[in-house]
Structure 1
Amino acid sequence: MEEGSRREEPLKEEEIWSWGAGTDGQLGTGKLEDELLPQLLHLPSLAASAAGSISMLACGGAHVVALTSGGRVLTWGRGTSGQLGHGEMVNCLYPKAVNSLEDHVITHVSAGWSHSGFVSDGGCLFTCGDGSFGQLGHGDYSAYSTPAKVSYFVNNHVEQMACGMRHSLVLLKGSLGSQVYGFGSGKRGQLGISVEKIKSANLPRVTAGFEDIQITTITANGDHSASLSVDGKLYTWGRGFSGSPDINVPSCTLPSLSFSQVALGWNHALLLTDDGEVFMLGGNRHGVLSNTEKMMNTAPNHLPGTESSSFTSELFILSTSLFLCPLTSFIFLVLITVDGEVMTWGWGEHGQLGLGSTSDETDPCLVRNEKEAVAISRVYCGSGFTYVVKAVH
C-alpha cells in the first residue's frame, strides 16, 4: 500500500439529499430527470462501503466526486469526458469506486465542468477528464478516463486542487514563493501566471504575486480564481466581476476586511468574514445578490438578515453553481444557518433551489423536506443541482 496506511474510522450513519438538474444521473437517484424537491438518497454502494462516511463532496458540471473518511473515492453522473475516472467515457447513475486510486489515501477532491482532481496524503496529484484546454496538467490537450499522476509535482507536496470551468489551480503545502500554480484556459487571466494574456497552459506554471504571502485556501469557478492568505486577505484574479475588467494576476480585494471563507460563482463571489458577516460581490443575474439595487463590483453588500447572529463563522459555504449557455450565465446560492437550515436563492430553472418550482428567487428562501426539521451540516452545489449531508445521531 502506497503513501501510508489507510485511516480506520468508525462508520457514521448519514443522510444524503439531492435535488435540481438530474438528466445525467448526477443526483444519484437512479433516474435521469430533474427533481424540484429534496430527495433522500438510498445508496447501497456507500452504505456497504468499509471506507467510512462521506467526508467531502465535489460537484462539477454534471458529475459528483465523493471522498470518504477512509480516503476512498466514488464518482457518478456525467462521464463522457472521462471525468469519473472509471476507465471509460460513459455516464454512471450510482456511486462507483475509482479503483485505480485504491492504493492511495485521498485527502482532497475537486470537480470542474468536465474534469476532476484528487490529492493523496503523500502530496501526489491525480487528474482525469477533459484536457482540451490543458486543465489536467499533463503537458498535452488529451482526455484521460483514468486518474493520472501529474508528474510536474513529483518532488512537491500538493495540498489542494481547485477545478474551474476549464482551468485548475494547485496549492503546495508549507511553502512561500512558488506555492500556487495554474494550468488550463487562461484567456480571462484566471491562471494568474502573467500580466500578458495567456491562451492556455498545459503544464503547471507559478501564479504571480504570492512570493511573500502564505496562502491557505484556493478556489476556482467559471473563468476566475480566488485565494485566502493566512491573515484572511482575499485575492482574486481572472474574469472581472459584473463586467469590470479582467485581472491577469492576483489582486488583494477589500483589503480592509479579513475573511475566513470564499465561494465563487460564475460572475459573483460570496464571502464570510472572521466576524461571521456575509458579503456578496458581482453581478445580479437571476437575483443572486438577494434583491439588492446596486451592482456590487465596487463595494460589498450584507446579505439581508446577517446583521444578527443568524449566520456564524461555523456555517459551510463550500461552492456556488455555474452554468453557461451561448448568451449568458446563470447562478444560484446556498447558505446554511447556525441552526442547520438551508436557504437558497437565484436561478431556479432546474429546481436547484429545492423549493418545488423552477422559478428564480430574489430573496433567500428556506428549503423544506419531508422531515421538516432536518439540521444540515454540509452543502455542495454543482451546475444546477444541490447536495446536502446530515449526520444522524
Structure 2
Amino acid sequence: MSRIAGEPTAFAWGKNKDGELSVGNNKDSYLPIPVKGVKNKNLVHVNSGGQHSAAIDSQGHLYICGSYLHGKLGIEDLTTVSIPAFTLVPSLKEKVVIQVACGDYHTLCLVEDGSVYTWGGTLHKKLGQRSGKAINKPGLVQGLSDKEVIYVGCGDFHSVALTNEGKVYTWGGGGSFFNRGQCGHGHVKDILEPSPVPMLMSKCVVQLSCGGYHTLALTDNNELYGWGSGLYGECGFGEFLNTTSPKLVLMPWVKKLAEEQLIIEISAGGHHSLVLTDQGYVFSFGFASHGQLGLRNTINQSEPQLVTDLRTKPIKAVAAGWNHTLVLSQRGDIYACGYGSFGQLGLGDDESRTIFTHVSALGPKNVERIYAGGNHSWALLDPAEPIKRDYEPPSPLPADLSFVDNPIQMASVIQEEEAFESSNKIKLTTGSDFFLQIAYSDIQFCHRFVRYELREEQLDMGKAKTEEFVHEMYINEAGVQYHRIQEDDDINEITAGNDETVCKGGEANITCLLVCDPCRNEPPIDKNDVNNDGEEITVIYRAAQLTANPLQTKLSEWVRFFMSKVSPYCAGPPKFFELRPKHFYTS
C-alpha cells in the first residue's frame, strides 16, 4: 500500500522526560506513537542519546529534540530547557548531513563532504575541539579535516570516526572515573584530538559501534574486536575484564552452525553487545540483568551467545539501547526484550522481558529501520510501502530451543508444536459455554480481565498464544488503549461453599488486562441512557446470553476470541471479568 501524503512514517516510544521522543509533550509512551516536527518529511536516519534525539531527512536536513543541557541540541540562544518536537538545526541547514550520533552530553554529525561537526559538553575532551566551555553550536573537528570520514559514533564520554580507508580514530575518554580504555589506545588517559587506534592500523575496519563505555569494530575479513569496559563481558573476548586495546571477539557458536556466517551488523548498548549475521542469526553478550540479551535468563555473558528463540525469525537489523534490545525481522516485524520500566519495549506496559516479544501495536506497519536510545526506541517505516500487503500477525516464537544444536533439530521441535496446536484447537460456536461477569460503573473505558492457568507441558506455547491474542486485539478492535500480562502470586479464592482454597501462583497462572474503547472510531450502536446514580450494576452472563442483542455480541467478542486462541492451552476454564461504562448496560 503506497504512502498517503501526511501519513506518519516515524514512530517512537519509551522515556520522554525531556521530549526526546519528539511527540510534542514530555510524557513517557508505552506504545509506539507518531513523531512530530517532521510532517511530510521522509526520515532516513535517527540516533538517540540518553535525553536527546536527532533525525535526518532525505534532503540531508538535521533535526533535533530533547534536553538542551550542555548545549547538545546545537541551537544557539535557546530559551527553553528542552524541545519536545524535532526542530531544524539552523547552522547546518545549508549542509547535507548524512549521519548523526548522540551521546549523553554531546552530539556529532557527518556531512556529505566527509567533514565532522561536534557540539555539546566538552568534559573529558569528547568534542575533539580545543575549548573548555560547552559549545552550543556545531563546530568543525579540525583534526579530521584531511580525512574522508564515512562514519561517526560516540559513547558517554568518547567519540569515534571511521575513514574511507578503514582506519579508526578516537578521542575523549572519561577521566579517572569513567575511562575504561574505550578509546583503544592502550591507556586510560583522555585524548584531546582524533587519533588513530594503534592496534587497528594494519586492519581495514568496515563498521564501528559505541556503547556507553566500550567500542566494537568489524574488519573486512569478518573479524570482530572489542575494547573498553568489559566487567560485564560486553567486549566479548571471553573474560569479565576491561581492556584498553582492541581484543578479538570469540565466536564459538558460529562453528556449531551448518552455514558459514558473515557478520553484517554490530550494535553496542550500555553494557551489552549484539552481532547479526548474513543468515539472519543474532548473537548477544554482556550485561543481562534486565534480560536484554534475549536468552531467557539474566546471566552475564563474556562470549557471543546465539539467540535461539530468533532462529525461526530471520533478522535483518539489530539495535542495542542502554539496557534494552530491538531486532527487526525480514518481514518488517519488531521484537524487543530487556529493561521496560519506561515503556521502551513498546509492549504497553513497564515490564522487563528476558525473551524477545513482538511489538504488536505496530500491527501491519512495514518497518524498515529501527533505533534504540538510552531508554527509548524508534521505528522508521518504508516510505514506498508503509503498510504491508496481506498482513498476517507473525507466528509466536517457539518454545525454549536452547538445547537445539542445528536447524534440523529445530525444525522437528517446531513441527511437534504445530502438531499439538492442530490436534488441540477447538472450534468455538456461540453455544460454547463460559461465564462473563460484568460490572457496569462510572468509568470511561472497558477494563477486561481474564485469569487462567496454563498447562505446564505447554507453558511457553500458551504464553506465546496470549501475546498473539493481545496483538490481534490491537488489530481487530481499534479501541485498545493499553494491555498488561502478569504472572500471578498465590491467590486466595472463596468457593461457592465459602471454603477458602489457595491457588498456587507462578508463571503458569496468568492475568491478562485489556483497556478498550470499543466505539472509539465509529460507534456502530447507540449508547444507552442510564441514570448515573453512582451505584455499580453487576451481572453474570452465560455464553448464550451474550448474543441476545448486537450490543452484547460486539462487546463480548473478545471473550470468544480468547477462547478460540488461548483456551486450548489452559489447564481449566478461564475466568472472565469486565468493568464497563454504564451507558453499555442493557436490562
Q: Same fold (TM over 0.5)?
A: yes
- 1:122 positional shift: 1.1
Spell out, residue by residue over 1:146-202, the C-alpha distance to the aligned partner (whole angstroms, 9 max, x if none).
Answer: 100011112221211111111101111225xxx211111252000001x2332x122
Spell out, residue by residue over 1:256-309, the C-alpha distance to the aligned partner (whole angstroms, 9 max, x if none).
Answer: 75411111112211111233211111121111222445845343322133333x
Partner secondary structure for residue 133 of structure 2: coil
Aligned AA (2:359): V
- Name which of 245, 253, 267 aligns with 1:249: 245
> Which stretch of structure 1 is more off in the superposition, 63-72 or 88-97?
88-97
Aligned match of 1:214: 204
Alignment of 1:73-222 (within 5 A): 73-88=62-77, 90-174=81-165, 179-186=167-174, 187-193=179-185, 195-198=186-189, 200-222=190-212
- 1:364 positional shift: 1.1
Partner secondary structure for residue 365 of structure 1: strand
- Name which of 309, 314, 321 aligns with 1:311: 314
> Which stretch of structure 1 is more off in the superposition, 286-295 or 137-146?
286-295
Q: Is the 8 A contact 1:110 1:117 kept in 2?
A: yes
Any stretches of 5+ residues in structure 1 without a counterpart? 1-10, 323-330
TM-score (norm 2): 0.59
Alignment of 1:5-20 (within 5 A): 15-20=9-14
Distance 1:246 1:342 in 2: 32
TM-score (norm 1): 0.86
Spell out, residue by residue over 1:315-353, the C-alpha distance to the aligned partner (whole angstroms, 9 max, x if none).
Answer: 122x3212xxxxxxxx01111111111111110111111
Aligned AA (1:184): G
Q: Is the 8 A contact 1:280 1:296 kept in 2?
A: no
Partner secondary structure for residue 81 of structure 1: helix
Shift in CA distance, 229/342, structure 1 to aligned 2, threshold 3 Å: same
Partner secondary structure for residue 316 of structure 1: strand
Q: Does 1:353 align with 2:342?
A: no
Q: Is the 8 A contact 1:82 1:88 kept in 2?
A: no
Q: Does 1:21 align with 2:6?
A: no
Q: Is the 8 A contact 2:8 2:34 kept in 1?
A: no
Shift in CA distance, 391/274, structure 1 to aligned 2, threshold 3 Å: closer
Q: Does 1:225 align with 2:247?
A: no
Aligned match of 2:43: 54
Spell out, residue by residue over 1:104-134, the C-alpha distance to the aligned partner (whole angstroms, 9 max, x if none).
Answer: 2111211111211111111111001111111
Larger radius of gyration: 2
Aligned match of 1:288: 292
Q: Is the 8 A contact 2:158 2:173 kept in 1?
A: yes
Shift in CA distance, 88/173, structure 1 to aligned 2, threshold 3 Å: farther
Partner secondary structure for residue 209 of structure 1: helix
- 1:142 positional shift: 2.6
> Which stretch of structure 1 is more off in the superposition, 257-266 or 354-363?
257-266
**Going by fraction, where is helix more abundant, 1 or 2?**
2
Shift in CA distance, 293/170, structure 1 to aligned 2, threshold 3 Å: same
Distance 1:102 1:96 in 2: 11
Q: Does 1:268 align with 2:259?
A: no
Distance 2:34 2:108 in 1: 27
Aligned match of 2:25: 31
Number of residue pairs aligned between Structure 1 and Structure 2:
360
**Going by fraction, where is strand more abundant, 1 or 2?**
1
Identity level (%): 25
Partner secondary structure for residue 37 of structure 1: strand
Partner secondary structure for residue 250 of structure 1: strand
Q: Is the 8 A contact 2:271 2:286 kept in 1?
A: yes
Aligned match of 1:300: 304
Any stretches of 5+ residues in structure 2 without a counterpart? 234-239, 255-261, 386-587
Distance 1:343 1:255 in 2: 23
Distance 1:21 1:282 in 2: 23
Aligned AA (2:321): S
Distance 1:131 1:307 in 2: 44
